[in-house]
Structure formats: C-alpha cells, structure tokens
Chain A
Amino acid sequence: MGLIRQFPPGSLPWLMVHECRLWWRDLRAKWFLYIMGGLLAIVTLFLAGVWLLTARLGDAPLVLVPNPPTPSMLRIAGGFWMFLFIYAFIQAMQQSLTALFDRGDLDLLVSSPISSKTIFASRLLSVAVEVFLGFLLLIVPATILAMAIGAFRLLGIYPALVGLCLTTASLSMLLSLGLVKLVGAKRARTVAQVLTMAIAGTFFVGVQLLNLDTRTSLSQGGDLNIPGGATSGLSLSPESWLWFPVRAIFMDLPSVVATLVVSGGLAWITIETLNRQFVQGTQQAVTGSRRSPKSSSATSPAQTVTFNQGLSQVLLRKEWRVIQRSPYLISRTLLSAVFLIPLMLLVVQDSSTQNGFDLATLTTVALPSAGAFLTSSLAVICIAGEEAPDLLKSAPVKGQRVRLLKLGAILLPVWCFLALFFAILLTQGVNILPGLALTLLATCCTALVRLWNAKPISLSAMMMRQRENAFNDTILIILENVLFFLWIFMGSQMSQGNAIATLVLFGFVLLIMGISYWRSRALGSSLGF
C-alpha cells in the first residue's frame, strides 16, 4: 500500500505499482501452494549451496564457469534460453489477452485524463514485470547455488531475463493488437490463443526433432547454418553474434548491453506505435463481445433442429457440439498431443530395433498414453466445462444415466480416433491385444478420475486463466499426471513382457482410482448429481 504513495498519481510508475499489486494479490490467492513450494525450494537450495560452499572451502573439486564459456556450455544455455523464451511468450500472451479482454478497469483508465501512451506503457511493462517475477521461483534458487559454487558470472541471467521478458511482452502485445486489427476483437482472442500454442508447439517439436536428428553431429562440434547464411555470414553456431542474448547469461558485458538495448528499444517502439491501437482495440474488445441490435441471423436461413430425439441423442449431440465449437480447446488438445510426439519418439526409439521403431512398444506405450491424454482434454471440456449442471440436475433424468452418456461423449471420439491406428497396426501383423486392453483401461480410468472429481464451471470462465480458482484442483492435477505416467511405465513394462512390474504398476493404478473415488465421496462431487 505504501509503495504506490511514493509516486505521483497518474504517472507510469504509479500505474505499474497498481498493476503489480493486482497481479500479486491474484497470484497470492490462487498459487499459495506453489509459492510455498517455491519458498521451500529456495530454502533447500540455499542450504545445499551453503553445503557446497563449505565443501569448496575444504578444497573440494568444483566446476566453475570458464570465461569465456565453452561452445558446449553456450549450447546448453541456448537450450535453456529457448525454454525460457517459449514459456515467457506463452505467459506474456496470457497476460496481454487478459489486459485486453478480461480486465474490467480499462474503461476507467481510458476515460481518465491519463495519456494512452502511459496506460499502454504501464500494461506492457507490467506484463514484462509479471513474467519476470514469475521466473524468480525458478531462477533465484539456481543463482543462489551458482553463487555458492563461485559462478558469479551466472548472475547475468537477471539482465538476460529482463531483456527476454521485455521482448516477449512487446511481441505478445504486437501479436494481440495485430490480430484485433486483422480479424476483429471477437475472433482475436481465440486466434491468439491458438497461435500461441501453435508457435510454442512448433518451436518445441522442431527443437526436439532437430535434436533427435542432429544429436550426433552437434556432439561432434558440428554447427547448424541458416539456409543461405554462409554467404551473408549468418550462422547459428554459438560464436555467432546472434547468440548475444545467451552470452548475456554469462555476464558478457557487450551482450548484456545489447540485450537490454534491443529489448528496451523494441518495447519503446511498441509503445510509441501501438498505444492508440491499444485503446481502440480495448474499446473494440469491450463492444465486440456484445451483440449488435441487428443480427446476421435475422436474414440467414432457418437452422435445422430436430426435436424428435431421445435423451441419449440430445446429450451426445450437445456435448459434441460444444467440443466442435471450441476451436481453442481443440487446438489445445491437438497441440498438447503434439508436445507428446518427441517424448513418444524418444521412448520408442530407445527400445527400437536397428531397422526402425518397435511397433509393439508403440502399441503399448504411445497409443494408451495418447488416448489417456486426449480423454483427459475432452473430459475437461465435457465435465469441468459443463455450464449448466443445475439444469441437468433439475431435469427428470437419472444422474447415473447422464454420467454414463457424458462418459460416452468423451470416450467415443477418442476410441474412433485410436481405432485407425490399431487397424493400421493390425494390418502390419502386430499383436494389438495388450495395447488395446491398456488403451481401453487408460481412457476409461482417465475419464472416470475427472468425472469423480468434477467441479463444473462455465466454459468461458475455464478459458480465462485469471478465473481458474475453481478449476485449479491441485490434487486432481496430481492424480491425473501420476496416472498418465503410470500408463507410460505400464505399457513399457508390458511390451518387455515384465508381468510382475506390470502388475505392481496396475496396483498403483488401482490406488489412484481408489483415491479418486474416495474424493468423489468426500467432495460429494461427480458433477453434483
């Protein structure tokens, strides 16, 4: 409270403190457990750092960061920087979309005598600050450890992060506002979310596949070159000037200065050029979500709706309509599945024969886990995203039947999708029975866990990260993740014919299911009916 009074009302720092205060209160309300976990990690790592420091004083051998860093160290740091960039970009996009579409105070700010440039600058900088603060839980323990072993040069991560956060905040604002201008406010949000996932997904998969392909050449010191870059002197080797943001991590002074100047310049240009569009975009976002008095449907042909349907048909049709009409959810599901591809390739490749992938492993590992993942995503839409649980509960239908139909709506599309792969594998002469059994088990269990622990909230609220409190069931997330990894391990053991390990893992699956069922009793959940 005191800090905000230190600045003149209406000034940029005053607005930024206001923004950060709101962000912090929101974070504190939602992520208390994570913050506590983070603090615990900091303390643990600090103690570990002290222990290492003691060991160092005792002449124990330590690996210090050489100056300048070796190419292999730069490559590792480059990978780390890529990860941070993707994560920061996703976070910045979320914050930008919130700033543009969700925050209810923009009308107040825009109607005030504060200039649009100050408002936009405060939003952009606060997005950067929020992303930066979000990184601290990860970075602070790491730098404590680095200092403990004497690698003070690694403190360069902080200016590198400042640059990274400013860059991603500027890019996210550019993308959001560009989309508002291109496709209108109504579609911009969905397109932006899909694009964010697509960019991040492509980047991630690209890096992973590149890694799989070129692992050997890179380990032998080979470089990657930009096509046509040989003539222009552009190279992706760690010695290239393009690596200055990565070298900033090692406190290379020219790189630190370049990082801050480039990112600061980008932010300044963004603020100077886009502040008016921001205000217009905001107004469009507010008015765009409301209907115009004259609807296009007044002149469009009448829609065909059949009223001669039983409960099963109307319920399944309704669920599939909701799924089909949520492009963001579909993209999230598919793109999240894309994230799994490198993991799957690694799993399959490790146990592959010389001539290609081990199809038995593919059947028992990749398909059940992919099925579980897809089921989980659809279950979120159909169960957690049930917008009118009271309507279902007040209807003269048995809750058990509704639950069964919901399970059907979730599982049928997944089974149909995976059936294609099983059919292909069958034509290859692969024994699909173990994989098929495991896939059926994995998909059913995953859907049941979500059903038993359901806390329905509206689909729109579910999509807004800022309002995820009701959706944030940490225990459910843990149960789902543990279950997901159990399918991978179980499939792996099953493909190797390790019956005892498979049975032990199946026991863990039963345990997770038991906990989930017990929670449903304790919470009185299961959609509340």
Chain B
Amino acid sequence: MAIALQVIGLSKRFGSHQAVDELNLQVPEGTFYALLGANGAGKTTTLRMVTGLLQPDQGDALILGRSITQQPNKAKKLLAYLPDEPMLYGKLRPLEYLEFVAGLWGTAGDRAASRATDLLKKLNLWDVRNDFAETFSRGMKQKLALAGAFIHEPHVVILDEPLSGLDAVAARLVKTMLNEYVAEGKTVIFTTHTMAIAERTAQRIGIINHGTLIAEGTLEDLQAQSRELGGEFADDSDLESIFLQLTASPVQAPADSDAPLSQDEWG
C-alpha cells in the first residue's frame, strides 16, 4: 500500500516555543486517520506545514511521494485542506465559490460543474445556491468549505476539527461522506478533541504531545501501549483514558468519582 502522507523530522519553533519537534509520521493510502492532541500540542502547526501553509524549520512532508517543500504545487494538487475556520468569501455564492476553488486547482470543466452540483445537493446546500455565503450559519459555512475541499477530487484530505459547529444531522452527513471517500481508496486525515468520534471513525490514530508523536496505530495498538505503560487507566479500553494516560494530562477527577467524566457524560 502506498504512503499517502509521510512526515519526516518536521520541526517548527515560534520564538522560544518549540511547536513541533522532529515529528515523524506515516499515513497509508486509503486510511481514515485521526490526529489527537491537547490544545497547543502542535496538531494545527503540523497540518499547516504539511499543507504548505507554513514553512518548516526543518524536515519535510511527502504527499504521495511529492515533497511539499521541493515540489509544492505538485503536492498541493493532490491535497485539500479544511481549517477549523472555513475559508470562504462572504460575497460569493456557493456555486461561484466552487467555481473559484476549481479554477485554483485547475479542475475547470463540465466535470467540475457536475461535481459542484452533486456536492451542493449532497450537503443540502442546493436550495441556498443563490445566497451569499455571509448569510449562512456556521454549519452551512462549514459544509460549503467542505464542498470546496472536495471539488477537485483530492487524493488526501486534511481536516482540522471538521465537525465543529455542525448539528447532529450535518455531522452524520459529513462522516458518511468522509467514509465513502476513504472507501474509494482516498485518504482522510483529521483532528478532533472529541475522542468518541476518533474512536468510532478512525482506522488509525496518532497522538501528539509537545510537538512529538508519542503514540500511533490502531485503537488496539494504542490499548497495548497503554497496558505496557500500566498506569491509572491501564485497564480502561476507551480512547479517552488512553489519551489522558499517554499525554499525562493534569485532569482532576471529580471528588465523588474515581475516573474523569467520559465524553458522553460531558454531553
């Protein structure tokens, strides 16, 4: 199986803060991959370097073998990036936005036009195709940005908190769409703070802490690592406990409970 994303010794420092520290990572093609980490762990910085938005201090990232630093345009052609804040133009209508993005990626033509129509219909945005994006709700903006990410049929899709701001119906829709995309042999890499989502959807999971990849693999791999370390949460099999153990998060358990609240308990 080909490697969709290979991160080699990637580093980035902001002033005295080492955001990413010689990070190495491999994501096989056709994988649904979750990148986890606490706030400030270096997830977004890593993704921004991988997508060519940020110049690394050292190291490189290969997208299906194309270097993002040496052959940026060839690598970007295969990529789509969706940041947590949708990259939209308030004064453009959905179809105009998709036309613009398709033009940027050089995928103009009838295929792009029919794909734009399909995406808007699939994401329930067809009825608002003549409205300006500035009038959309947060969830609608997120869906339009997602349509923009998929318009040029990228091989690797990188999403930063893709489900934030989406209601349950829209979240399910997006998850289904991403799963279908992976089933086609494409690669989806996403970050999330919701462990339950990562646990349910991701085939492989990477955990970043202080700019370094501290654990990586399937959920079973991570459970095995957790058992080897044998800590407070060693017997627990859910991802949240594993994550807390591996990142040694200073979470204070509630006074009337031995374990921290689970995601479901938080609501």
Contacts and interface: CB of A to CB of B under 8 A. Distances in A.
A67 interface: no
B93 interface: yes
Interface stretch (B9-17, B126-134, B252-260): B126-134
Interface stretch (B105-113, B181-189, B243-251): B105-113
Interface in B180-228: none
Contacts of A391: 87, 101, 104, 148
Given A291-B128, A297-B130, A314 B103 contact: yes
Nearest to A318: B100
A309 B95 contact: no
Contacts of B72: 396
B130 A303 contact: yes
A275 to B, nearest CB: 29
Contacts of A318: 89, 92, 96, 100
Contacts, number: 129
A313 B53 CA distance: 24
Interface in A344-388: 387-388
Contacts of B88: 387-388
A333 to B, nearest CB: 16
Given A290-B137, A305-B96, A395 B90 contact: no
Given A291-B140, A303-B130, A322 B108 contact: no
A259 B259 CA distance: 69
Interface in A295-340: 295-298, 300, 302-303, 305-311, 313-315, 317-318, 321-322, 325-326
A388 B87 contact: yes
Contact of B108 (A291, A298, A310, A317): A310
Contacts of B51: 394
Contacts of B127: 294-295, 297-298
Given A307-B110, A321-B96, A387-B90, A291 B103 contact: no
B54 to A, nearest CB: 9
Contacts of B42: none
B95 A305 contact: yes
Interface string B117-158: 000000000011111101111001000000010000000000
Contact of B128 (A298, A311, A315, A458): A298
B90 A307 contact: no
Nearest to B113: A307
Interface in B22-54: 51-53
Contacts of B101: 391, 395
B137 A300 contact: no
Contacts of A388: 87-89
Given A313-B103, A394-B51, A396-B73, A308 B92 contact: no
Nearest to A311: B103
A296 B130 CA distance: 8
A300 B137 CA distance: 20
B20 interface: no
Interface string A458-486: 11100000000000000000000000000
A390 interface: yes
A392 interface: yes
Contacts of A325: 91, 132
A398 interface: yes
B83 A396 contact: no
Nearest to A386: B89
Contacts of B75: 396
Nearest to A305: B95
Nearest to B80: A394
B99 interface: yes
Contacts of A458: 90
Contacts of A295: 127-128, 130-131
Nearest to B103: A314
A309 B113 CA distance: 11
Interface residues of A, number: 41
A303 B105 contact: no
A308 B114 CA distance: 12
Contacts of B53: 390, 393-394
Contact of B130 (A300, A309, A390): A300
Nearest to A288: B135
Nearest to A323: B91
A108 interface: no
A57 interface: no
Given A295-B127, A314-B104, A306 B90 contact: no
A395 B131 contact: no
A297 B113 contact: no
Nearest to A392: B104
Contacts of A298: 127-128
Contact of B129 (A297, A307, A394, A460): A297
B79 to A, nearest CB: 7
A60 interface: no
Interface in B60-105: 72-77, 79, 81, 83, 87-93, 95-96, 98-105
A308 B108 contact: yes
A392 B72 CA distance: 13
Contacts of B130: 295-297, 300, 302-303
B239 interface: no
A397 interface: yes
Among B72, B98, B140, find the residue whose CB has the most chain A CB atoms closer than 10 A.
B72
B108 A309 contact: yes
A322 B91 contact: yes
A314 B112 CA distance: 14
A407 to B, nearest CB: 18
Contacts of B112: 307
A306 B73 contact: no
Interface string A379-420: 000000001101111111110000000000000000000000
B89 A291 contact: no
B99 to A, nearest CB: 5
Contacts of A294: 127
A388 B149 CA distance: 13
A387 B83 contact: no
- Give 7 nearest A-B pairs by CB, closest first: A314-B103, A297-B130, A388-B87, A395-B104, A396-B76, A298-B127, A391-B87
26 contacts: A291-B131, A291-B137, A296-B130, A298-B128, A305-B96, A305-B99, A306-B99, A308-B109, A309-B103, A313-B103, A314-B104, A318-B89, A322-B89, A325-B91, A387-B87, A388-B88, A388-B89, A390-B83, A391-B101, A391-B148, A394-B52, A395-B101, A396-B73, A396-B106, A459-B90, A459-B91
Interface of B: 51-53, 72-77, 79, 81, 83, 87-93, 95-96, 98-106, 108-110, 112-113, 116, 127-132, 134-137, 140, 148
Given A305-B96, A307-B102, A311-B103, 15 more contacts: A291-B137, A295-B127, A295-B131, A297-B129, A305-B99, A307-B99, A308-B108, A314-B102, A314-B104, A315-B103, A326-B91, A390-B87, A394-B81, A395-B105, A396-B72
Interface of A: 289-291, 294-298, 300, 302-303, 305-311, 313-315, 317-318, 321-322, 325-326, 387-388, 390-398, 458-460
